[in-house]
Structure 1
């Protein structure tokens, strides 16, 4: 036990140097400020506190906005990676689907093989794969690949007259264009000046 020479106990000295009183929330006056009563320091302290509060609030709002943008970007990236993975797998299955289509066209799709093909087509449909390209639709070079070209009096614009291989897409993304035979209107004979 610490005692002074006169026999009394020595008390620890605690100095609270906090600038804000934790009980009242008000700014404290420092020793210099107490001695300098002529200067309006409480107003200056209030202004400083308000400035600091505004800075911290702006920092917090900026961090919240950055975090929100980060979350949106991560979610968008996850969705894009998932779509690319699904498109990659389905792209590898397109030759199998073509073989199934050819077998169906030749009447060879019977028995257990027919059930397997139906299951595979249903599973790819659930993943968003859809076919496109029908006979008689207008030719669109963004979704059709012309393999054959001819002229016909039966069409008024470039038209798909035969679907050689169907096209596949996931949503709006084209995995493979439809491979088609295209017919254009016959050209008008050029009149000669005789």
Structure 2
């Protein structure tokens, strides 16, 4: 006995559409329509090629949007992290100032010295660097002048004393170095006649 599903090698496959609504007309199907096999629809090559091109363009656009979204999220995540670290380190700057003053006065010894070294190592690991040295050329973007004088020993505005070191993370200045500035004596003085 042969299998009723075996249509032989020379016949096309039978496709039975059991949907209750005809997708082409949108009308409800009768019971007689459901029993009739439906032949495969002929493929319109021009329409399919255009549809394929549209879908490919849509997919490429969505992929580019997703890539840009991932980059933006990663950039925002890094910026938020940097802001959080900078905010926490800004709160520790007075403690670092106290440690520096204690070191300058010889009061940094014993267990307190170990704690100070550990704290300084931790903030350095987070990217905090100190700047501002005696003799540095004065730069208003990274220095804050607290005192001003004239001197024959300098050729340009120079930090002659660092009153409080500055701190930065990467290129971001958390606090400018507070310095005493000396300018050359031969600088033209403002006259009262102007």
TM range (shorter): 0.7 to 0.9
Shift of 1:16: 3.7
Partner of 2:94: 95
Distance in structure 1 (CA, Å) of the matches to 2:84 and 2:36: 65
Partner of 1:73: 72
Q: Deviations over 1:69-95 (max 9, x none)?
A: 000000000000000000000000000
TM-score by length of 1: 0.77
Distance in structure 1 (CA, Å) of the matches to 2:71 and 2:187: 57
Distance in structure 2 (CA, Å) of the matches to 1:72 and 1:188: 52
Q: Deviations over 1:118-154 (max 9, x none)?
A: 0000000000000000000100000000000000000
Shift of 1:13: 1.2
Partner of 1:48: 47
Partner of 1:183: 182
Distance in structure 1 (CA, Å) of the matches to 2:187 and 2:166: 33
Structure 1 runs not aligned, ≥5 long: 1-9, 22-27, 30-41
Partner of 1:140: 139
Distance in structure 1 (CA, Å) of the matches to 2:62 and 2:36: 38
Distance in structure 2 (CA, Å) of the matches to 1:15 and 1:156: 99
Partner of 2:122: 123
Partner of 2:35: 13
Q: Secondary structure at the match of 1:139?
A: coil
Distance in structure 2 (CA, Å) of the matches to 1:103 and 1:188: 38
Q: Secondary structure at the match of 2:163?
A: strand
Structure 2 runs not aligned, ≥5 long: 1-31, 190-194
Let me know the Cα RMSD of the aligned residues: 1.8
Q: Secondary structure at the match of 1:168?
A: strand
Partner of 2:157: 158
TM-score by length of 2: 0.77
Distance in structure 2 (CA, Å) of the matches to 1:162 and 1:177: 14
Q: Secondary structure at the match of 2:186?
A: coil
Q: Pick closer, same or farther for the CA change 1:76–1:14 going to 2, 3 Å.
A: farther
